[in-house]
Amino acid sequence: MLNVDDAILSRRSVRAFRPDPVSQETVAHILEVSSRAPSGTNTQPWKVHVLTGNSLKRVSESVLTAFREEPATHTNDRPHYMEKWRDPYLARRRKVGWDLYNLMGIKRGEREKTQQFHSENYRFFGAPVGLLFTIDRDMGWMSWLDYGMFIQNICIAARGQGLHTCPQASWGQYHKILEKELELVEPEMVHVGMSLGYEDTSALPNKLETVREPISAFAVFHT
């Protein structure tokens, strides 16, 4: 059993998984534990579609086809980040992107290699379990905050089972395909996805070490 600090500190976004299966009982356990996340007025705004085996393959292939053939026709349901990027967020975004591409040996302008690596998102990076999170689109921003707590709980509870995760906003671009595949009915919309499985420790992208600002950059201690 990991202690809380170890579970948090050992979580990283893993971008290459071993194919070893994860049992439905283990996934159910992680989700049950994670559902203890707090939510404003206990609204619990989360819903999870768990994909494995054939369902994962089917959804993955549908999205990969669109990614290859008609990416420009697919856009996010709503802005994911800042509409107009500025520092310090832009600099942080660029750093993690280039650190990852450097590790992979992908140079500036190598579009095909970049696309190839990006497409791994839509294979859940080879993980045996893909999670697609949905939310009712009329939920307010507090519920989106609740949702983040639930998703973080999954990342941490997964560590308790020796598993790793990668939260993925990238699925949002193909929400129309996913809504069809998952037979979603309004107002249920796709929020984000997540890969879940055992880390391939030998894979290059998993050597990435991300940095964080020191607490002096984001915390103010009032006395």
Which residues in this chain contact ligand FMN in the complex, by CB under 6 A?
12-13, 15, 96, 121, 166-170, 192, 210
Q: Which amino acid is at 199?
A: E
Question: Can you tell me which residue has the tokens 């921003």?
Answer: 141
Exposure on the CB side of residue 17, measured as CA atoms within 13 A: 27
Closer Cβ to ligand FMN, 9 or 223, answer by number: 9
**Residue 192, token pair as written in the block:** 């984000």
State in angstroms the smallest separation of the CB of 172 from ligand FMN: 8
State in angstroms the smallest separation of the CB of 142 from ligand FMN: 17
State in angstroms the smallest separation of the CB of 180 from ligand FMN: 20
Contact 165, 217 (CB under 8 A): no
Closer Cβ to ligand FMN, 126 or 167, answer by number: 167
Closer Cβ to ligand FMN, 6 or 24, answer by number: 6
Closer Cβ to ligand FMN, 123 or 176, answer by number: 123
**Residue 22, token pair as written in the block:** 């994860």
Contact 21, 126 (CB under 8 A): no
